[in-house]
Amino acid sequence: MSDPARPDILVAAPLPAFTMDVLEARFTVHKLWQGVAPADLARVRGMAASTLAGPVGEALFAQIPGLEIVANFGVGYDNIDMAAAVARHLVVTNTAGVLDEEVADLTVGLLLATVRRIPAAERYVRDGLWPGGGFALSPSLRGRRVGIVGLGGIGKAVARRLAGFAVDIAWYGRSEQPDVAWPRYPSVEALAAACDVLIVIVPGGAATRHLIDARVLAALGPDGVLINVARGSVVDEAALIEALQARTILAAGLDVFEHEPHVPQALLACDNAVVLPHIGSASLVTRQAMGRMMADNLTAWFTTGRALTPVPETRY
């Protein structure tokens, strides 16, 4: 018998242990990867999904007739079939806000590592090469113009940090933001042509697939640096590899990849690329906060009928 004080939820894939502890303290938890009987699925009212664990869509929704809400562990939610969710009048939430500062910190760190060639310099010391001579002079962040593709919460947090580096900032986004003082360009290609650093921080999904393509990379130019902390799908990876190999751009710093965790060997072979294993929000304190927000969204829905951070497509 289901306990009304502990609504039944389905966890679609394993989550960090500290997040599972929070969910299990508040809800009756069913774990999809362990197998769930149809009678248990019939009692489920909420789902915990994750950008770290793969897609969630109609095939699963159809098995849960009483599903009301899908709470996602992550600010991006391209892992959720939103067309199917909207058709079923499901509330979908994300963890907007709680990871902005952490991802912005990582973005600036990745930019500095890429421009100043910090990983290569560290390997130079470890490989015992320093006694034979100093490390080669690197490019600089000085005098650069930084373009930010996507000026949401994370993009603004990145811009605030970069303002302290005395670099010029511009941006591109689909919508005007009258309260933003930095200049907005009419297209990604126009922004790339005006800047020599391009930081990508837009949602994934069909609408942004290969937004950064060969034309944008050509516009960025031979002194240009690409930083992608968004989704791997946003960048045409084959075009990027070609640009790095041909030195038609200077360098790239990448935290995300088209088919992660698999990274093309051709990309790994590029000495002008810095690659990270999708760690933008991956600190203990931030992942704990994300787990609490996901659980808080479920709790708020079941107790008040209102979620805390519904995604824009959600309709109550």
List the structure tokens of 78: 């391209």
In the residue annotation, 231 being an active-site residue is answered as yes
Catalytic residue selected from 116, 215, 278, 292: 278
User: Positive or negative CA dihedral for 110, 114, 115, 116?
Assistant: positive
CB-based contact 297:74 (threshold 8 Å): no
In the residue annotation, 260 being an active-site residue is answered as yes
* CA–CA distance, 270 with 262 (Å, rounded to integer): 16
How many Cβ atoms are within 10 Å of 114's Cβ, its own excluded? 25
Residue 134 CB burial class (10 angstroms; 0-12, 13-18, ≥19): exposed
In the residue annotation, 278 being an active-site residue is answered as yes
DSSP SS3 for 132: helix
What are the distances in angstroms from CA 156 to CA 86, 122, 179, 268, 282? 29, 30, 12, 30, 20
Give the E-state strand segments of the chain in sequence order: 8-11, 28-31, 44-50, 69-73, 91-93, 145-149, 168-172, 197-200, 225-228, 251-254, 273-275
Catalytic residue selected from 89, 260, 306, 313: 260
Catalytic residue selected from 45, 117, 231, 287: 231
Q: Residue count of the chain, please give it.
A: 316
Give φ, ψ of 170 to 5 degrees: -140, 175
What 8-state DSSP symbol labels residue 235?
B
Among all residues, which ones are annotated catalytic? 231, 260, 278
